[in-house]
Amino acid sequence: MLKSLDENMCTGCQICVDVCPEDVLRYDQDKGKAVIAYPKDCIGCGACAWFCPLKCIEATIDRERPQIQAY
Amino acid sequence: MKSLTYETDVLIVGGGLAGLTAAVKIKEEREEVEVLVVDKGGIGWAGQTPLTGGMCIYVESDGVDEFVDSVVEKGYGLANSEWLRHFAGHLERSTSELFGWGVPFMKDQDGKLVAADSAFWGTKNKVTGFIPHRTTLHLKKLALARGVKLLNKTEVVDLIQDGKRITGAVGFDILSGECRVFKARATVLANGCCNFKGRAWFTMNVGEGVSAAYRAGAKQRHCEYAHQYDPVDRQSETWWRAEIAADFIENAKGEKIFQKYFPGQTRLGSWALSYAMGAEVMAGKGPIYFNATGASYDQFNRRVAGEDIRVWQFKHGTFLEPKRVHFDRGGHDLSLEKSEWTPMFPGRLGSVMVDLNCRSTELEGLWGTGDTVISGCAMNGAMSANSYGRWGLPFAYVTALMAAEDIAKVVPETPKPQTDPEEQKRLRERLFAPMVIKKKGFEPWDAVVRVQQVVIPVQYSLIREESRLREALQRIEEVQREMLPNVRVESPHDLVRYHEAESLATCSEMLIRAALYRTESRGSHFREDCPERDDQNWLKWTIIQKDGDQMALSTMPVPGSEWSEVAKK
């Protein structure tokens, strides 16, 4: 789950937008920053938080979408 | 509806490791050939590659025979020795080529490639690795420097055909929703396999290239073995190599379980450990735990060139660093407390059938690389394509180089594509049909979850049985017939989700139908109702091909009977 994205720190590099497998993050042209556009679709991979060079993003592994288990 | 048309010589669908490698190589061979790479994410960061551990199998040329023999021996008679020899035979030169391009492989103080002994597949088997996200970023830089055109945030949905010739593709811009039409002399599918949205790390690849190729008439091979399961920590999804983890997996009573189902075996793939875990739970003996309390770190670690792999990965920022990820996410140390484990299902349906030049065996003008074709090549035999790990990344760049060399030879002689406007219109309408306004309806994820419920659980895709497989097929058909036409699509973002759900359903149907078709048990395909191996009737690969509106199944014999004799021992 994407808990927060610090807009003050974000420089708009778009790494998080590019790496997100579920198109949760988008780039806001007016602000020049990444924004959380589709939070419900976040599946908790953590890639955005991991690769953000300034650690603007706080993410956890939980998610709104159900995760079907093998048993 | 605004539409933009792109004309190019080579369209590469997917800008990950395979797509970018192919693009760079084509330009190296024939600078004048125009190449366009299209990706639904941001090229350089998108796809599976940046989220992997970067480890690559490496076989030197004098080790190929030993490698092929040892893989075939474990393949239960279905290993594709021709493709194995082709892949292994190209590993050394392909790895050297990418290293020469400056891809950040492991290297020593003198700048030479480091490949350490692995010995899993014989004495000449080695392992090397690269920093995955830096690799794709480097390849992107090389591609741009050579004049490759890149197009981000574009979802390709269908291939355009002129009879049996592929002449391009249709898709849409994920941000604006505008239609995109691509006309090309050669089209390369490099957008991965279907991972069924089963693991949190690999949900971007839902087999859109595989299902587009299926709809266009390409044969799909070996679909029943697309059921990759990886045993992982339930909370954090972190994992260790199955052959190492097997010693530590126990049931609720604290009984070690692996040897109960596979006595005396030590080098089976992740499917075997997953099977043991699933069988114990189905027998009421769960939960299942990973218990390494008191074990030394060295007992479940690997070293490459004397360096702890995990330290190397952590030092260089590789994403898939288990101890670090586990600590950050799970917050516990496996040497101090046990942890509940479960088989996670990334699946790996990359079933498009290609020849040794990576050309589709049915459709002209179409090549397939990397995960899009990995399970269809059936190299591992009777288990899922990456059961042993460390093959996926090198398979991506090896096949990319093969396809690129072939394309560079043929494309200059290939006439420009002629596209039928009626066919383009039909595909555009199909693409945007879900955007018909609906006041009520399902969300795309609803359809995804309904399919996953009959694919991911072990009783459907690992410990199989006819009535459960028929139940799964019925459910998938209900999703296709009743849910998908009623999915509410209100934005281009939803439209991506819709086409992913549709692709997931198609790939799941292929997986389940092939599992029903193979009426025996062999390797990781286990049928409770057909528990014996049947070499008389089933030393064959299953084939799926579209026939009108139906999914038609057939078989082809596994060539190389001498290998069948080896596997029977």
pLDDT in tens, B319-340: 654 444 444 444 556 667 888 9
| CB pairs < 8 Å spanning A and B | 96
End residue of a domain, out of B413, B430, B447: B413
**Cβ contact, residue pair A38, B51, below 8 Å:** no
Assigned domain for B274 exists:
yes
pLDDT 10s digits, B160-213: 999 999 999 999 999 999 999 999 999 999 999 999 998 877 889 999 999 999
The share of chain B scoring above pLDDT 90, in percent, equals 72
Angle between helices B444-452 and B466-478 (to 10 degrees): 170
CA distance B434 to B9: 31
Does residue B293 share a domain with residue B240? yes
Please give the average per-residue pLDDT across B231-249, as a whole number: 79
Please give the pLDDT value at position B4: 95
Which residue among B45, B200, B453 places its CB closest to the CB of A68? B453
Q: Are B255 and B198 in a shared domain? A: no
Dihedral angle over CA of B538, B356, B157, B201, nearest 10: 80
Pairwise CB contact (< 8 Å): A19 & B46: yes
- Who among B277, B456, B462 is closest to A68 (CB)? B456
Q: Are B77 and B535 in contact (CB under 8 A)?
A: yes
A61 touches chain B (CB under 8 A): yes
Sketch out chain A's domains with CATH numbers. Answer: 2-59 (3.30.70.20)
Number of neighbouring beta carbons within 10 Å of residue B422: 8
State how far the alpha carbon of B340 is from the alpha carbons of B350, B416, B456, in Å.
30, 57, 18
Q: Are residues B143 and B18 in the same domain?
A: yes
**Is B78 part of any domain?**
no
Are B497 and B204 a contacting pair, CB within 8 Å? no
Query: What separation in angstroms does the CA of B231 have from each of B45, B226, B235?
Result: 26, 16, 12
Strand partners, A2: A59
What's the rounded mean pLDDT across residues B14-33? 98
Boundaries of domain holding B544: 421-568
- CB-nearest partner of A70 from B319, B325, B342: B342
**Chain-chain contact of A45 with B200 (C-beta, under 8 angstroms):** yes
- Whether this model's pTM surpasses 0.80: yes
> What pLDDT score does B107 carry?
87
The model's confidence at residue B317, banded by pLDDT at 50, 70 and 90, is low
Whether residue B524 sits in one domain with residue B442: yes
CA distance B534 to chain A (A): 28
- Do the Cβ atoms of B278 and A71 come within 8 Å? yes
Domain membership flag for residue B320: yes
Backbone CA torsion sign across B395, B396, B399, B401: negative
What percent of chain A is predicted at pLDDT more than 70?
100
Last residue of a domain, one of B388, B413, B438: B413
Whether residues B360 and B300 share a domain: the answer is no
By residue count, chain A amounts to 71
Output B561 or B183, whichever has higher pLDDT.
Answer: B183
The shortest C-alpha distance from A8 to chain B (Å) reads 23
Helix (H, G, I), strand (E, B) or coil at B456: coil
How distant, in Å, are the alpha carbons of B182, B356, B552 from that of B217? Answer: 19, 19, 11
Same domain, B182 and B212: yes
B352 plus B478 within the same structural domain: no
CA distance B71 to B73: 5
* Confidence tier at B568 by pLDDT (50, 70, 90): low
Q: Are residues B4 and B38 in contact, defined by beta-carbon separation less than 8 angstroms?
A: no
User: Does residue B398 or residue B385 have the better pLDDT?
Assistant: B398
- Nearest residue in B to A18, CA atom: B42
In 10 A of CB B347, how many CB atoms? 31
* Start-to-end CA span in chain B (Å): 62
CA distances B286 to B151, B247, B252, B277, Å, are: 48, 17, 5, 8
Give the Cα separation of B26 and B170 in Å (integer): 23
Which positions 39-58 of A are in contact with B (Cβ < 8 Å)? 41, 43-47, 50-51
Nearest to B218 by CA among B155, B158, B154, B170: B158
Whether the pLDDT of residue B150 is over 50: the answer is yes
Task: Give me the CATH number covering residue B443.
Answer: 1.20.58.100
Considering only CB atoms, which chain A residues are within 8 Å of B201? 21, 45, 47
pLDDT for res B563: 47
**Domain count along chain B:** 3
Q: What Cα–Cα distance (Å) separates residue B515 from each residue in A30, B286, B352, B373, B544?
A: 52, 26, 17, 19, 12
* Together in a domain, B489 and B512: yes
Domain closes at, from B324, B344, B364: B344
On whether both B252 and B321 belong to a single domain, the answer is: yes
* Residue of chain B minimizing CA distance to A49: B319
B279 and B340, same domain (yes or no): yes
Is B527 inside any structural domain? yes
Q: Do the domain assignments include residue B330?
A: yes
- Closest CB to A21: pick one of B204, B452, B493: B204
State the average pLDDT over residues B251-269.
Answer: 89
Please indicate, yes or no, whether residues B330 and B256 belong to a single structural domain of this protein: yes
In a domain, B97, yes or no: no
In a domain? residue B455: yes
| Percent of residues, chain B, with pLDDT higher than 70 | 90
**A70 to B278: CB separation less than 8 angstroms, yes or no:** yes
> Which of the four pLDDT bands, split at 50, 70 and 90, describes residue B305?
very low
A38 and B133 in contact by Cβ < 8 A? no
Q: Which of B174, B281, B445 sits opposite A65 (nearest CB)?
A: B445
Chain B CB contacts of A14 under 8 Å are: 42
Q: How, if at all, do strands B366-368 and B179-189 pair?
A: parallel
User: Does some domain include residue B110?
Assistant: no
B546 in the same domain as B439: yes
